[in-house]
Structure 1
Amino acid sequence: MPGENRAVRERGKVRRQLLLDAVIQVISEKGISGVTHRAVAATAGVPTSSATYFFDSLDHMIAEAVGAAMDQEVERLRQLQDIVSRDDAPASRMVDHFIEHLRTSPDDHTVAQFEMYLFASRRPELQARVADIVHATKDVAASALRLRGITDSAASATVVALIDGFALHRIAVPAPEQLVSLHRALRALTIGFVALESAEAGPPDAL
């Protein structure tokens, strides 16, 4: 029956997504090395046989989960870019938008993100997706910096490196004041690039 087949397909899609979400949770809690068919199935609340039914291998399951999580992060970054690149967006709110993006990022995704970077470094088929996240983050930073009149191509890469560094430290040693410190560091960075571009546009002895 067509209706029954459709229901079976929908249940299959739901179960497959449960497994993908469970992979990210296991990565967050135990690292890539902790991902097994049994651990993922237990986290997803489904039979272990489901993990082997939907995916050809453990690597296949991890790659699918990592790729899906990366796609979600790229979409979040595109939404952030839409916000910071609006003509009516106050330049002074730029840092606030970045802080809010980091604050609202799910902890398990943030932890998994850095695990993914290392995992993808050994999986050429995933490196393009890692590059997509890095480029998307730089695009958001570049859009925000242009609101402050900063066009230096190195500025966006520096902002991304600063945010990633704070995110990594926040994972390793959580502390409530870290976001406040990041807010201040981003403000100092943007002010510094404004001053640098102004100095470089002036007479040589201004440097």
Structure 2
Amino acid sequence: MTVAGNRDPEARSRRHDPGRRDRLIDVALGVLAEHGVAGTTHRRVAAAADVPLGSMTYHFGSMDDLLHAAFTRLAERTADAFDQALTEAGTAQAAGDAVVGLIAGPTLNDPETMLASLELYALAARRPEFRAITDAWMARSREALHRHFDPETALMLDALIEGTTLHRALSLDPMPVSTVRAAVERIVRP
């Protein structure tokens, strides 16, 4: 209990949380992966983030605002990983290896990332206002691929990455990495 005029330092530190909005976005991605768009609510995200429900409506005027922020974060993080992998590739061969690594590695196959991505794809398919997120994501992926490949090859690789990642994630018998490598090599072969 506090004396009148004195504030509880612990309560004050909870209110002063400059990173709260970012943390809520990150937590929302986990909630989206676990419960889907239909099961994601302000209340559920607030509980998962251990913040008052009012924080949600303070930072996000609507559920669409929260979904847009969370899915934009997902797309930016994934595009950043593409950028990094392809920037580090010094040759076209290394870039092909990086593409195989993106398809078969942890970046796109992390369960939370995969489930949240599937939720974004479904939402964007139903609600065109969310397609701007997927469109920007694909544009950044192709831009990263353009460092090493012509525009048509980059487009084919981008589609291969999306489709093959989904195929591997949803198949009971995922495509082996050797087949992924063969597909990439067929596309990038001079």
TM exceeding 0.5: yes
CA distance in 2, matches of 1:138, 1:58: 30
Q: CA deviation at 1:83?
A: 2.1
- Contact kept in structure 2, 1:142 and 1:156, CA below 8 Å: yes
Partner of 1:50: 55
Change (3 A) 1:10 1:45: closer
> How far does the alpha carbon of each residue in 1:87-111 deviate from its partner, in whole angstroms, 9 at most, with x for none?
xx23322222123234131331233
TM-score by length of 2: 0.76
CA distance in 2, matches of 1:13, 1:77: 29
Are 2:76 and 1:78 aligned? no
> More helix per residue: 1 or 2?
1
Change (3 A) 1:27 1:133: same
CA distance in 1, matches of 2:80, 2:14: 26
Q: CA deviation at 1:36?
A: 0.9
Name whichever of 10-19 and 129-138 sits farther off: 10-19
Q: After superposition, where does 1:107-118 map in structure 2 within 5 Å? A: 107-118=111-122
- Contact kept in structure 1, 2:167 and 2:175, CA below 8 Å: no
CA distance in 2, matches of 1:28, 1:34: 10
Q: After superposition, where does 1:117-136 map in structure 2 within 5 Å? A: 117-121=121-125, 122-124=127-129, 126-136=130-140
TM-score by length of 1: 0.71
CA RMSD of aligned residues (A): 2.7
- From 138, 143, 146, the equivalent of 1:142 is 146
Q: After superposition, where does 1:30-49 map in structure 2 within 5 Å? A: 30-49=35-54
- Partner amino acid for 2:25? L
Partner of 2:106: 104
Partner of 2:171: 173
Name whichever of 46-55 and 19-28 sits farther off: 46-55
> How far does the alpha carbon of each residue in 1:72-131 deviate from its partner, in whole angstroms, 9 at most, with x for none?
2232232233223xxxx233222221232341313312331232233234142x433322
Change (3 A) 1:30 1:174: farther
Partner of 2:24: 19
Percent of residue pairs identical:
24
- Partner amino acid for 1:104? P
Structure 1 unmatched ranges of 5 or more: 146-150, 195-207
CA distance in 2, matches of 1:51, 1:178: 43
CA distance in 1, matches of 2:172, 2:72: 27
> How far does the alpha carbon of each residue in 1:47-80 deviate from its partner, in whole angstroms, 9 at most, with x for none?
3333233221212111111122222223223223
Q: CA deviation at 1:8?
A: 5.8
- How many residue pairs were aligned? 176
3-state SS, counterpart of residue 51 of structure 2: coil
